[in-house]
Structures are given as C-alpha cells and as structure tokens.
Structure 1
C-alpha cells in the first residue's frame, strides 16, 4: 500500500460517472474563487491538482454533511482492509494552509503555518527547485504512515510579496480578536487570484497586484476557451 495507490483508488471512486455532477459543482465553485487556469498556463497542473484536492478533501454537496473522502470511507469501508481504512481516515485529517519554509534538510522540510504558528515536518525526497528558507506557499499536507507528505498542489508566492502577505495575516488576526477565527480558506483564494493575476498581467507591477486594499480592482483573468470545449459554468 502506497500513498499514490490510496489516492488513485479514492480519485477513481470520486470521479465515477455517478458523481459527475458533484465533481462539476466542486470545479465551478473552486475555480470561481481561485481563478480558472488553462493548459498553457504555467501553473495549470498545480491549480488543477488544487481543485481535485478541494473536491476530495473539503467539498460537501449542497445539503450534504460529509466530504468526498468521508463519503468514500462510509461507502467503501466494508471492502477496505483495516490498514487501508486507517490510512484513509488519516488522509481525511489532512492540513491545508499557508506555510512559511523554516528549515530545509535532506528529505525533510519544516513548515510553519502563518496563521497558527504550528510547525510541520514534511517528508520530501524530491528536490524542490528554487525553494528556500522564508518562502511562502499554499500547500496541502497528507498524513501517511506517521509522516506528512505534500499533495500535488503547490502555489508559491513571490518573495517580493512576502512582506505584504505577512502584514495582511497580522491585520486579519488582530481584526478577529482573541478567540476569533480568520477565514483562512477565503484568504488562500484571494492569494491564489493575486498569483494568477501576476502570471497573466505581466506588465502590472507586483506591488499593485499584492495590494489587499485594492484586490478587487483587477479582474481575475479567465483564458479563452478553445472552440468545442464545454464550459464549467
């Protein structure tokens, strides 16, 4: 049993024709908030993976109480071995957030959640090109056999934007007050739209895009859809 095989079985169940409408609804909701990519976009693959992660681990159908993975466990539990069932239950407790890289060493990255200040040690045997201490990224951490692993959805934010991002996090936490909670999911969506604008509007200064007071002024770009491709709307 590997993490990849677990993911493939879950994805196959979740994308079966019987759940097509749920997948399309999750796709619409996610891309409406995050910005919809197309194949020629540099971040197409991680953004598509981010949508699938949202569908598998966060999405709840209208009126439903369970996420996709929770409903998978309920439906497929009797056919799973005890080890597989425990592994899927761990996956359902994944961590999605905005992280700062605190330490890098062979095979391991230490990340700090910028909202909770919690530290996470992530196993990563691949070399992550260009990743350095202090970098800020959106990621989903998947528990498996006592360790944490990255999902396939990474969204990096440029170093020139880190100061503005940390300042906005501080402002949001202060506005929430003691005991209050910040809508982290909405903040991640805002950052995603900003990163997408930076990718698309190359003639616009970074400071004008990562400007939280003016975030709504520049529309999130939507690439032209090739002829014959059905709309997600």
Structure 2
C-alpha cells in the first residue's frame, strides 16, 4: 500500500468551504492534500482506482471523477497496462499555473475574476479552434451542442455549456492559454449565471444562449474567423 493510501485509510473526506461541491470534487481536494502532505516526488505511485475505492469507501464513479479532476489539474497521471495505475504527475509550467489557480479558489470576488479572465481569452481560444479543428473535433462539438440543446433545466444547460467550452479549448495548440481558460471554468458554477427568475424569462434566456453557442460552434466548424468573432462578442455580452 502506498503512503498516500495509508494516509487515506479511515480518513473522512472533509467538506469544502464556500460553494457547494460534489463528493468527487471534495475527494479530489482531499487526495491532493494527501499528496502534498506526503511530499512525494513526481512519478511516485499512488494506487489503482479499485484501491482508492476501497480506501475511501466511495463508489467507483465518484473515485473515477475525482481522479479525472486531479488529472485535469495536472496533479496526477494515469498509466495504463500492467504495472500501471495512478502516479504523481511530472511538474511543468502549465501544471504550476493550474496549481496557482487552485490556491485562490475561495478568494473574494473569484467568480467575477474568473469570468473576466475567461472573456479575455474567449476570442483567442475560439479562433484557435476555428483554425485548428479537425473532423474528430467537428463531430465532438456537434455532439456537445446537441447535449446543450437537449438540456432539461438551467443547471443541466450550464453544465453542458461548460463541457462545450472545455471541448472547444481542447482544440487550441496554445497550452498556456488553454490551461488558464479551462482553469477559470472550474470557478464558475451554474448559479453564477444571472437571469430573471420567472419561468418564461428563464426559457427565453436559455433559448437565446443556445443560439449564441450554435453560432459560435458553426463558425468554428466553418473555419470562419469573422463569424467566430461576432459570436464571441454576443456570447460575452451575456456572460
């Protein structure tokens, strides 16, 4: 059993201060705290998904999501095959940048700061996507847009919205801009979007936001930088 596993055995996952977090998000924070507390070198073995599940008592889906979050943050890497598992990731400038973003998670006005940074990078990220998308990207963007259209309520719509933007960002070859951009999305929860609370206005809001994203995706698919720029301006007007 690895040092990190030993530190997790019998240890309750602590809730996070501030905005409501999922169990997977709370587990990810606690796992990262255990990694830091053990002060292990990059490449050190953490364990397997099954070992983490047994150590924490969480369902496999929760553990898998927590590991995915840590991998996106650059804290761990997954090595497949025999002798594989979850390992502490090698450090690089992008990973250090993501870690910096995480340290300010509960700072005042964080949501507003995150929105400002995201909007500043929206044009760069979206234009990169229009210039570098391939057939697989186009297919993935269409599927993400379909999920957005089929969202049944505001929370589902906003989660699909973030997933779409994350997929757009994946296309960009600019690793630094991509890391900052995707990092900000983690601080903008569905409750961050402001709109009139009446059902009619809520439906109108979601319809309008869908059309904005539809125009953005179509501009990226067409490789039309002017259309992308127009869609980005319209997008940022509504946050």
Same fold (TM over 0.5): no
TM-score by length of 2: 0.26
TM-score by length of 1: 0.26
Q: Which has the higher strand share?
A: 1
Q: Which has the higher helix share?
A: 2
